[in-house]
Every structure is written in structure tokens, then in C-alpha cells.
Amino acid sequence: MQVFHKIADLQNRLFDDRKKSKSVGLVPTMGALHDGHASLVKKSIEDNDITVVSVFVNPTQFNDPKDLSSYPRDLDADCKLLETIGADYVFAPSVEEMYPTPDNRHFEFPPVTTVMEGAHRPGHFNGVCQVVSRLFYIVRPDRAYFGEKDWQQIAVVKAMVKSLCLNVKIVECPIVRESDGLARSSRNVLLSDDERKTAPNIFKALKEGVEYSKTHSVKETHDYVVNKINAIDGLDVEYFEIVDGDSLQDVENWNDSDYIVGCITVYCGKKPVRLIDHIKFKS
């Protein structure tokens, strides 16, 4: 496995690989890798001749400086894990390498960029599009791999790819959970022991919500899940939205769509740590 910090070095290497007609998969990450990332990397290795994993904590997608500074970083541990899995190249640029000048491009694809995370983290998806489009221009992957945990991010990246006419296939990979149901996330390491024990109640309430939805309306199910979670000490729902899985538009009745997903963000603990999850009501 080779680690690249400079765009030109990675591009030279990929140029040689492409001359040999090798296919390239890209797994964009912000590091602090866990089993969720490992599943994306394994899928890319299965599908492509070369797998590139980018490790870059992208400042332009953080709207809260404290969130950016506390984001976990450990490139050595990430590289060890990637080497065991069998990734070919790690791309770990500095902020100056990725953004030699400020990125003034503005990405907006309503409604997918304006609802949920878009409404609660202004500028977040603009930053995601800035960095993902740069990574796509640098690596020119045949396929790029994203986890379904960030459900809305996939919809945004697909809208961006369409809008920029980029020739890359977006591969969606299923969410990976801990044995107690907590969605795997780089932020989980920020949870104290007590918070870690409380956090699985989010997925528990979502699963109960699916049962409850069989005999109750969308609004009743929404309120049931929110009240269940908020009743637990240390958990505070930021939003829970029951939406069409593609358009991300709210649904009012279970018959409004054949594909319905509940997306939730919950603050956990004192710091607090912001946790994201989702559940499919209809698929």
C-alpha cells in the first residue's frame, strides 16, 4: 500500500495504472476508520483493480469550529487498518494541498441539499460537494463508495454528479451496526462509557417505531419515536423526518410513496455528540 500526500504524485501513479486499463475505485473518508469504512473498502476491492482511500478532514463542511477541532484523527491507525484490508493507495493531503486557494463554488440542489442536515448544518453540503468534486477530479474514479448511514449525503452526491456530468458510478453500501444496534460512526469514540450505553436506544426506538407504524399514522409514529428518545436521560432529538427515500420530501401518509425512510439526528450526552441514524419504513 502506498500513501500519497501530494495530488501530482497520486495522479502520476494513477496515470500509469490507467495506461494498463486498470479500473479505479475511490472511498472518500475523513479518517478515524471503523468497520463501516472497512465494508466500503472491501466492496471497492471486489469491484475494481485499484482502490484509493482518501483520508481528509474537510474543513469546508464543518459549520462549527469546535466540531472540526474535536473530530478524531489518527492517520497511522487508519493506514494500518487499510493495509490489512488490502487498499492500494491512501491519499492524505494537507488542507493547503486540497485548497491552495479558497473554494468559492456554491452547490445547491434543492430539495436534497436544503432539508434535514441541509437545514440544521448550513453550508455542510456545500463543503461536502466542494471536497467530493475535487476528489473526483483528482482521482477520476470509475466507482465511488458511500455508506448509507449518511443517507442524505448519497442523494446530494448523486445530484452533484448529475449536475457536473461526471462519469463516476456512486455505489451505496449498507449501514454497519455495533452488536447492540448503534450505527458505526467515527464520532462514537467521542462518547463516554455511560453515553455509549445510552446511544443504542436511538436504533431501538427506530425499530419500535416501525412496529408502531403498522397501526398508526405518519404523524403519530413520528411523535412516538421522538418522545421515546427524548424521555431517555442524555438523549435529545434534533430532528426526525419521515421522507421519501429518493426525493427526501416529507410524506404525510404511508401511501404517499413506496419507499419511505425515517432519518434522525440525536444529541447524546453533555458535550454533546451528534449521532445520525435512519430506518426504512417501506422499501
Exactly one of 28, 209, 262, 269 binds ligand PAF (CB under 6 A); that residue is 28
Nearer Cβ to ligand PAF, position 115 or 229? 115
Exactly one of 88, 142, 150, 241 binds ligand PAF (CB under 6 A); that residue is 150
Q: Which entry of 5, 34, 37, 278 is annotated as an active-site residue? A: 37
Letters for 32-71 (x = contact with ligand PAF by CB under 6 A, - = none) are --------------------------x--x----------
Give the HSE-up count for residue 12: Cα atoms under 13 Å, Cβ half-sphere: 7
CB 256: neighbour CB atoms within 10 A? Answer: 15
Nearer Cβ to ligand PAF, position 112 or 229? 112
CB 258: neighbour CB atoms within 10 A? Answer: 9
37 is catalytic: yes
Count of chain residues binding ligand PAF (CB under 6 A): 10
CB 36: neighbour CB atoms within 10 A? Answer: 22
Letters for 151-180 (x = contact with ligand PAF by CB under 6 A, - = none) are --x---------------------------
Map residue 238 onto helix, strand or coil.
Answer: strand
By CB under 6 A, residue 132 contacts ligand PAF? yes
Residues 6+ apart with CB under 8 A from 44: 25, 26, 27, 51, 143, 145, 171
Nearer Cβ to ligand PAF, position 22 or 63? 63
Exactly one of 10, 14, 24, 30 binds ligand PAF (CB under 6 A); that residue is 30
- Of 100, 102, 156, the residue nearest 132 (C-alpha): 156
For residue 40, count CB atoms less than 10 angstroms from its CB and return exposed for 0-12, middle for 13-18, buried for 19 or more: buried
- Of 73, 41, 45, the residue nearest 58 (C-alpha): 73
The nearest distance, CB 259 to ligand PAF, in angstroms, is: 22
Place of cell 485548497: 99
CB 99: neighbour CB atoms within 10 A? Answer: 16
Amino acid identity, position 209: G
Nearer Cβ to ligand PAF, position 108 or 223? 108
Active site residues per annotation: 37
Interface residue list for ligand PAF (CB under 6 A):
28-30, 58, 61, 128, 131-132, 150, 153
